Structure 1
Amino acid sequence: MDHLAKKFLEEDATNKDLYVQGIIFKNDSFLDVLNQKFNDYLFRINLYSYIKKTIFYVARDLKQRENALREKEGLYLNVLDADFEEEKINTIADAPMDFAEEIYKDQGDIDYKELFTDKEVLEAISTLTDRQKQIIHECIIKNREEEMVAKELGITKQAALSKLRKQIGGK
C-alpha cells in the first residue's frame, strides 16, 4: 500500500497539497477530497489491472485453441517461410468441374440387377447387344436426350427400345 500511496502523491502535485492539508493539518474538507481522489486512483489501477489480465487470459485461451485446432486439422495451406520468418500462402489451382457429369460418368460395367427389380426387364436387358445397352444406359440411367445420344453414337435408339419393348410384352 505504501508503494501505491507514493505513486498517487507523485502522479499530481495537487495530491501532495491535499495530503499536507488533510493529514498533517487535519483539515476534514481536504481529507475528503484526498480520499475521493485516492479511491478514484485505486479504481483506475484495478480497472487497468482487470483489463490487462483479461487480455492476457483471452490471448492465452486463443493460443491454446489455435494449437488444438492445428493438432486436430494438421494440414494448413499456409506455411512458415524459414528464410523470412513470415507466413507464405500456398495456393491450389482450382480446375472447373461439371459436377453433373461427375455424378453420371460411366462407372465401367453396370450391374442392372441393382438398378431394376423387375425380372422381365432384367431378362430383356440381358438379350440386348452392348451397343443397345449403351443407348439404354445413356437415355434412361443418365437421363440424356435421345437425339443427342443417337447422334453421338451414330445410330437410332428406336431399335434398342423396340427390342426391349417386345421382350417385356409391349409395356
Structure 2
Amino acid sequence: MDHLARRFLEGDTENRDLYINGILLKDRTSLESLNKKFNDYLFRISLCSYIKKSIVFASIDLRKKESTIREKEGLYLNTLDENFDEEKINTIPDASVNFEEEIYADKEYLNLCEIFTDRNILKAIHNLTERQKQIVYECIVKDKKDHLVAKELGISKQSVNKIKNTALNKLRKQIGGE
C-alpha cells in the first residue's frame, strides 16, 4: 500500500498540497478531500486491474475452447499457411494411388503375356508346371520372401526354394543362358 500512496502523491501536485495541509497542518477539509481522492485513485486502479484480469482469463478460456474444437474436428478443410500466418481453404482431395500396389495386386487370372514380351521367355515359361509358374511369379515378379510364399501355399520353405531353383534352371536352359 505504501507504493500506491507514493505514486498517488507523486502523480499530482494538488494531492501533495492536500497531504501537507491535511496531515501536517491538521486541516480537516483538506484531509477529507485527500481521503476522497485517494479512494477514487484506489477504485480506478482496482477497476483497471479487474478489467485486465478479465481480458486475460477470457483469452485463456477462448484458447482452450478453440483447442478442444480443433481436437474434436480431426479433418479441417482450412489449413494454416505458414508464410502468411492465416487460414487458406484446402479443397483439393487427396486421391493418391500407390501404383506399385496396383501392379502387384493379386489377380485371379495371371496373364504372363502382360509381364513378359519376349517370345523365347514366354515359351520357356509355358513349359513350366503350374506350381513352378506360381512360385516364380510370387518370388521373382512380386519379390516375396521364400518363407512367406511357403506359408501362403502351405508347403515348406525348402520346397519353395527347390521348386524355384528347378524352374529357374529350366528357364536358363531353354533360353540359352548359363
TM-score when normalising by structure 2 = 0.49
Provide the C-alpha distance between the structure 2 equivalents of 1:41 and 1:76, rounded to a whole number of angstroms. Answer: 50
Mapping for residues 102-141 of structure 1, pairs under 5 Å: none
Query: Equivalent residue for 1:46?
Result: 46
C-alpha deviation, 1:21, in angstroms: 0.6
1:25 corresponds to: 25
Distance 1:63 1:28, change over 3 A: same
1:72 counterpart letter in structure 2: K
Question: Which residue is 2:73 aligned to?
Answer: 73
Gaps of 5+ in 1: 94-171
C-alpha deviation, 1:88, in angstroms: 2.1
1:25-58 CA distance string (max 9 Å, x none):
1111100000000000000111111111111111
**In the alignment, which residue of structure 2 is the partner of 1:59?**
59
Change (3 A) 1:68 1:33: same
Q: Percent of pairs identical after alignment?
A: 61
1:8-23 to structure 2, matched below 5 A, reads 8-23=8-23
Task: Give the equivalent residue in structure 1 for 2:6.
Answer: 6
Aligned length: 93
Gaps of 5+ in 2: 94-178
**CA distance, structure 2, for counterparts of residue 35 and residue 91 of structure 1:** 66
Deviation of 1:70 after TM superposition, in Å, equals 0.4
Superposed CA deviations along residues 78-118 of structure 1, whole A, max 9, x for unmatched, are 2111223332233479xxxxxxxxxxxxxxxxxxxxxxxxx
Q: 3-state DSSP class of the match of 2:83?
A: coil
